[in-house]
Structure 1
């Protein structure tokens, strides 16, 4: 039996329940992993509320790190005793032990702790694809990155600095802006006190940025479009403030033939070889010291509700993890 956090109906953080679940043996292409830490992400909130519906009862959590204790038939890249980490479908990371598909589970280098790995897999792989798998942001380019003091944002600030990319961040307080600047943002705009689109134009001498990376959604979408140079990119990769409402695609032409995409990480890591290459790139950044993972909050598995409440209230900075 393994302690597991589930929901039996969609709704608020009060719907989270801790139960004991039986854990079986891994089948074809699966592993069983004893988990040390799990990461907390906004996708967990989307699944809990039903914005991204799943079959109930549903165990939540998309990333974790621990030790492989059994492998099923056909699994050749992992063995019992391996240190491992993942960002993977299906959800179920909020658990002491789980059986799961092995495809997106990668070996964890000895130099990276379980807590660090759980805090960085989904967020770090997200940054890797944002910078390298869509429009290949180059040295000297300027990027607007919303929620720059969050878990993904602080990794993105450091990643940009390590590659000579100018990153203009946004955050909801002067303190959060200071944190983003400490982590490598070239500028950071407090969106509560300034019109970020107007400030972006000022900072770029009226040109606009090459790429916007926007995980906020409804609240920032229009301003994001107004911040992009002609022929630039709009990458909408999340909906923290709610989904982007319908709009006319003619706006993209009117604003300078802007290219718009709505990607998800799991498309990029669907194949094991690509997932491993992306993970290796992330591990290299972390082991070299170019990217340091900021764990801003730690909660016990039994206190997952409080973790969700803090995340939704935007009271978190950096990454949030659950200690299992």
Structure 2
């Protein structure tokens, strides 16, 4: 048996319940893993509140790290006793242990702690596909990144610095802006002090940025488009402030033949070999110290509802982990 967080209905943090569930043995292509730490992400909120519908009852959590206890038939890249980490479907990471598909579970290097692994996988693989797999970004290019003091954002700031990319960060306070700068952002804008788009134009001498990476959604979408130079790419990869309203595609033409995409991490990591390659790139950034994983908050598994409240209220910085 393993303590596991589930929901019986969609709703607020109050619907999260901690129950005992039988774990069982892994089948073909599966592993059983005992978690040491679990990551917290906005996708968990979307699944809990029903923006992303799940068949109910449902376990939550997309990211964790721990020890492989058993492997099923056909699993060759992992063995019992391996340190491992993952960010993948199906949900169920908020648990002491689970049985799950093995293909997207990755061996965790000894130099990376379980908490770092749990905090890094979904966010770090997201940053990898943003910078390496979505649109070409060259050394010296300009990128606008919203919510840059969050878990994904602080990794992105460091990643950009390590690649020679000029990242303009936005955040909701001077303190968070300073944090983004300390992690590698070239410039930081407090969006609570006024429209960010004119400031982006000023920083880029009127040209605008090559790429916008926007996980905020509704509140920043129009300003993001206005921050792009002609032929620029808008990457909308989240909706923390709410879904983006319907877009008239002619708007992209009027603003300079812009491009737009709405990727998900799970499309990028669906192939086993690709996922392992992306994880190796992420682990290389961490072990070389080009990227440092900032864990700003730790909550016990039993306090998961409070962790969700803190995340939704934007009271968090860096990554948040649930400890076991």
For Structure 1 versus Structure 2, the TM-score category normalised by the shorter chain is over 0.9
- After superposition, the C-alpha distances for 1:131-178 in whole angstroms (9 at most, x for unaligned) are 000112110000000000000000000000001000000000000000
Other-structure match for 2:18: 18
Aligned to 2:264: 264
Structure 2 counterpart of 1:145? 145
Task: Give the Cα–Cα distance (whole angstroms) in 2 for the partners of residues 129 and 208 of structure 1.
Answer: 22
Provide the TM-score with structure 1 as the length reference. Answer: 0.99
Match of residue 289 from structure 1:
289
Instruction: Give the Cα separation in 2 of the matches to 1:274 and 1:74.
Output: 19
What corresponds to 1:158 in structure 2?
158
* Distance across 1 between alignment mates of 2:27 and 2:302: 29
**Cross-structure match for 1:202:** 202
Alignment gaps of 5+ in structure 2: none
1:4 Cα shift? 0.3
**Residues in 2 aligned to 1:136 and 1:284: alpha-carbon distance in whole angstroms:** 21
Match of 1:61 in 2: 61
**Distance in 2 separating the partners of 1:136 and 1:21:** 45
Q: Which residue of 1 aligns with 2:275?
A: 275
After TM superposition, what 4+ stretches of structure 1 lie above 6 angstroms from structure 2? Answer: none
Matches within 5 A, 1:68-79: 68-79=68-79
Measure the CA separation in 1 of the matches of 2:8 and 2:24.
21
**What RMSD in Å do the two structures reach over aligned CA positions?**
0.5
Give the aligned partner of residue 122 of structure 1.
122
| Total equivalences in the alignment | 324
The CA distance in 2 between the partners of 1:37 and 1:214, in whole Å, is 27
Q: Find the aligned partners of 1:247 and 1:126 in 2 and give their Cα distance.
A: 24
SS at match of 1:181: helix
Q: In structure 1, what is the equivalent of residue 227 of structure 2?
A: 227
Q: How many angstroms does 1:11 deviate by?
A: 0.3
1:136 and 1:123 map into 2 onto residues whose CA distance is 20
Q: Deviations over 1:57-102 (max 9, x none)?
A: 1111000000000111111111110000000100000000000000
1:87 paired to 2:50: no
Please give the secondary structure, in 2, of the residue aligned with 1:308.
helix
Cα displacement string for residues 231-278 of structure 1 (whole angstroms, at most 9, x for unaligned residues): 010000000001101020000011011110000000010011000100
Matched residues in 2 for 1:316 and 1:113: separation? 21
What residue in structure 2 maps to residue 217 of structure 1? 217
Q: Distance in 1 between matches of 2:126 and 2:317?
A: 17
Cα distance between partner residues in 2 of 1:138 and 1:276? 24
Distance in 2 between residues matched to 1:23 and 1:291, nearest whole Å: 35
Q: C-alpha offsets along residues 9-62 of structure 1, whole Å, 9 cap, x if unaligned? A: 000001101000011111111100000000000000000001000011111100
CA distance in 2: counterparts of 1:96 and 1:110, whole angstroms: 21
State the distance in 1 between where 2:314 and 2:11 align: 18
Unaligned stretches of 5+ residues in structure 1: none
Q: Secondary structure at the match of 1:192?
A: helix
- Separation in 2, partners of 1:194, 1:36: 42
